Amino acid sequence: MNAADEAARILLEIKAVYAYDGIEPFVFTSGRKSPVYVDIRKLISFPRARARLMDMAVDAIQRAGGYESIDAIAGGETAGIPFAAWIAERMGLPMLYVRKEPKGFGRMAQIEGEFEQGANIVLVEDLATDGGSKINFVNALKAAGGEVTNCFVVFHYGNFPASRANLRELGVDLLELATWEDVLRVAEADGYFKPEVIGEVRNFLADPDGWTPAAV
């Protein structure tokens, strides 16, 4: 079994993947409707599953960023924080976390933790849809003097081209363990979802902006 299939199977096993039931679609913070939703935060309650995925995360980060060239791991507020902590611990690296906006009191800090100017920092989040929130975090780290060349997520929707393109404009590569294509492949093979649900998800993946709910 390859790494993407293994990650997808773990997410399906712990029921972190939700599919449209024909009644109400899911709504993202952007307002976009979707027949699918992935709750990576559920991993915090499954220690064996999260340990395996975090080991896989370290392998992916080191393959992309090197074994001795990474200086710190930064978690994006709030979902990325626990994953950044587990990854930083495994890699023996300092951990930071980045707020969506500067704290409104005290030092007015947007980044918690310390790093040297020019430090090579990997940004960690739970998942990526269109990648918009990642840009804010990357810009904050760079404004504070860090260098960011990789952003890691456990799950990447994989059907929004801008998610990779916008980050690449900032010199950042997006790394993930699994995408929706991986999850659907495993879900279909193992019978996690009804065929009509699989079809509805594929319609969404093909045209996320034009997707409209249909009875399933």
User: Average of pLDDT values for 42-53?
Assistant: 98
Which CATH number is correct for 3-206, 3.30.43.10, 3.30.460.10, 3.40.50.2020, 3.30.70.260?
Answer: 3.40.50.2020
Please give the pLDDT value at position 106: 46
Question: Using 50, 70 and 90 to split pLDDT, how confident is the model at 200?
Answer: confident
Higher-pLDDT residue of 21, 118: 118
**Domain ranges for the chain:** 3-206
pLDDT digits (tens, 9 = 90+) for 161-174: 888 999 999 999 99
What sign results for the dihedral spanned by CA atoms 43, 47, 49, 53?
positive
Which of 129, 153, 152, 175 has its CA nearest to residue 37? 129
Peptide bond into 78 cis (omega under 30): yes
pLDDT digits (tens, 9 = 90+) for 90-137: 999 999 999 998 875 546 689 999 999 999 999 999 999 877 889 999
Question: Using 50, 70 and 90 to split pLDDT, how confident is the model at 27?
Answer: confident
Q: CB-based contacts of 84: which residues, under 8 Å, 6+ apart? A: 73, 74, 75, 95, 96, 97, 124
Q: Is the pLDDT reported for residue 1 higher than 80? A: no
Which of 181, 126, 185, 191 has its CA nearest to residue 153? 126
User: Average of pLDDT values for 53-71?
Assistant: 97
